[in-house]
Amino acid sequence: MNKRKLLTQLLALCLVFAIKPYYGGEISIKLNEPTSFTLNTANYSNLILFSLIYENFFYMQKDGAITTHVFKDYRYDPGSRTLVLTIKDNLSFSSGKPLAAKNIQMSLKVFLGANLFAASKLNRIIKNIRVEGAQTIIELLNDYPDIVAMLTVPELAVLAESEQSFSGPFYPEEWEKGKYLILKANPFYAGGRTFLDAVRVMFSDDALPDVFLSSPKSVKENYREFDSGIYQNIYLCFLQGDVGQNTKIALYTLLKKFNEASGFKYRELRTLTSDEESPVSIQIKTFSPQKTASILKSSDITLYILASLSYLEKDLTAFLKNSNLKIETLFIDDSQMMNFLNSSAIKYVLIDKIFQSKIPIEEKISRILKESSFNQFNVKYLRMLGELDEVKYSNSQDLLMEQIARISEAIINDGFIFPLFQKNYSLYIRKDWQATEIDYYGRPLFQKASKNSD
């Protein structure tokens, strides 16, 4: 029996009428605590959290099928090179305020204005966005039949003008900082009221939640494991050009040592994307412990770490304390990162990038180059990206791999980003809960989740 048929049967079980699906109950999920409710999908935890309160334009299922809850019709006309999105009637945000075509237009514009790889790709294609009644009309510069697939990215969500209105299946109701966040079912959710009454997002380890992320093959009784298809790469970045090569290697060596000391909790990463698919392997020769210590002893280092890596905090702080080095760690919110870029005080940053394993390697390398070179992005990189685009359409795998290797080499030689570790995720869901789907981006979708009443 194929997976699709199995899923259909599982869904059928929850949609039967002779015994109706039960409305009620609360599911608990362990995630990282957000800093605000401003849409931010920079890491896997946020990707899940924000999918609960913000509705995407489109969803891509694991088998590549595209669905939408917001539009009653969408069609691309190659002749006029327009995509017409017709919004469903009478939709509302969680506050009850109308959700109309102008909100779709505004959300799309916010997305296009964001410094994201997916947005820059769309920006190159879209000529104009206008609203006519219930329709949002997107005019393209060239014929692009795959435009709808490009609109399935998790960052493209329906936003309200007011921050207190949410478009997702749930909306924030109660936030006990450091402990939990209660999300209540949105009665106006475009996809149809969820069977669940609430989702409890837990930030502490007080109790075992119904849903959590963990390393693959962590055998848990009464839980089903789902391959999320997501991995998180952790990189060491140097934002200023005046950092010496020895300091870079010493800091890199220290962080590698940290992983070794914590029992290789994280997978060593020797490429910019993943070791399985990359045409080049990056070998950065580390220093001996003595040399590392002698270099870093004289340096006054503040290592900035993105909040999405907050799970490193406890172990890393303890490790640095034991090393007797004068290295201070400072966690910054992902959304604040851009504001720090112009500050010359920020030299060393630990960043992460979330990748879906199915995304082509050329897209991943482009994202790294565009999103992680920060203020060091230059004409050379722009030219390299242009060449990458060209070889993409040449249908030559060899040429493509060659170009990816060339970009990887240039990035490493320029010395602003060193790959460190990779963290793989599996999603664990308690067996009592049925009909939870996992989408293409590895997010659990709770729209049809309900507690097994049998």
Which one of residues 108, 118, 160, 190 is an interface residue with another protein (CB under 8 A)?
190
Instruction: Say how many C-beta atoms besides its own lie within 10 A of residue 225's C-beta.
Output: 15
Asked if 1 interacts with another protein (CB under 8 A), we say no
Binding flag, residue 57, another protein (CB under 8 A): no
Per CB under 8 A, does 73 bind another protein?
no
- 162 near another protein (CB under 8 A): no
Query: Of these, 59, 71, 170, 188, which contacts another protein (CB under 8 A)?
Result: 188
CB 38 within 8 A of CB 163: yes
Are 165 and 97 spatial neighbours (Cβ–Cβ below 8 Å)? yes
One-letter amino acid at 377 equals F
Q: Is 3 in the site for another protein (CB under 8 A)?
A: no
Number of neighbouring beta carbons within 10 Å of residue 199: 26
CA of residue 265 relative to chain centroid, distance? 21
Contact between 420 and 256 (Cβ < 8 Å) = yes
Q: Which of 191, 331, 370, 401 binds another protein (CB under 8 A)?
A: 191
Stretch that binds another protein, among 149-157, 185-193, 208-216, 374-382 (CB under 8 A): 185-193
- Closer of 18 and 207 to another protein (Cβ): 18
- Count of positions (residues) in the chain: 454
Q: How far is the CB of 444 from another protein (least distance, A)?
A: 17
> How many angstroms separate the CA atoms of 39 and 209, rounded?
24
**Pick 95 or 128: Cβ nearer another protein:** 95
- CB under 8 A: which stretch of 60-68, 86-94, 108-116, 361-369 binds another protein? 86-94
Binding mask 92-131 for another protein (x = CB under 8 A): x---x-x---------------------------------
**In this chain, which stretch among 184-192, 217-225, 317-325, 397-405 interacts with another protein, using CB under 8 A?**
184-192
| Cα separation of the two ends of the chain | 24
Q: Nearer to another protein by C-beta: 13 or 243? A: 13
Contact between residue 178 and residue 205 where contact means Cβ atoms under 8 Å apart: no
Q: Tell me: does residue 68 bind another protein (CB under 8 A).
A: no
- Among 3, 19, 133, 219, contact with another protein (rule: CB under 8 A): 19
53 is an interface residue for another protein by CB under 8 A:
no
The answer to the question of residue 167 lying near another protein (CB under 8 A) is no
| Nearer CB in complex with another protein: 185/307 | 185
The piece of 21-29, 219-227, 306-314, 332-340 that touches another protein (CB under 8 A) is 21-29
Interaction of residue 67 with another protein, rule CB under 8 A: no
Q: Does 25 bind another protein (CB under 8 A)?
A: no
Contact 452, 434 (CB under 8 A): yes
Beta carbon nearer to another protein, 20 or 75: 20
- Minimum CB distance to another protein, residue 88 (Å): 7
Based on the shown chain and the rule CB under 8 A, indicate whether residue 448 belongs to the binding site for another protein: yes
Q: Which stretch binds another protein (CB under 8 A): 141-149, 192-200, 230-238, 282-290?
A: 192-200
Instruction: Count the residues of the shown chain that bind another protein, applying the rule CB under 8 A.
Output: 31
Q: Binding of another protein at residue 91 (CB under 8 A)?
A: yes
173 belongs to the binding site for another protein (CB under 8 A): no
Single residue of 192, 216, 289, 360 touching another protein by CB under 8 A: 192
For another protein, the closer of residues 12 and 410 by Cβ is: 12
Of the candidate residues 21, 25, 279, 415, the single one contacting another protein (CB under 8 A):
21
Token output for 393 = 């359409």
User: Can you tell me the distance from the alpha carbon of 97 to that of 440, in angstroms, rounded to the nearest whole number?
Assistant: 30
Residues 215 and 263: their CA atoms lie apart, in Å, by: 14
Beta bridge partners of 83: 76, 138
Query: Would you give the distance in Å from CA 428 to the centre of its chain?
Result: 18
Query: Would you say 301 and 328 are in contact if contact means Cβ atoms under 8 Å apart?
Result: yes
189 binds another protein (CB under 8 A): yes
From the list 2, 3, 79, 89, which residue makes contact with another protein (rule: CB under 8 A)? 89
The residues that touch another protein, with contacts defined as CB under 8 A, are: 8-9, 12-13, 15-23, 69, 88-92, 96, 98, 187-193, 195, 447-448
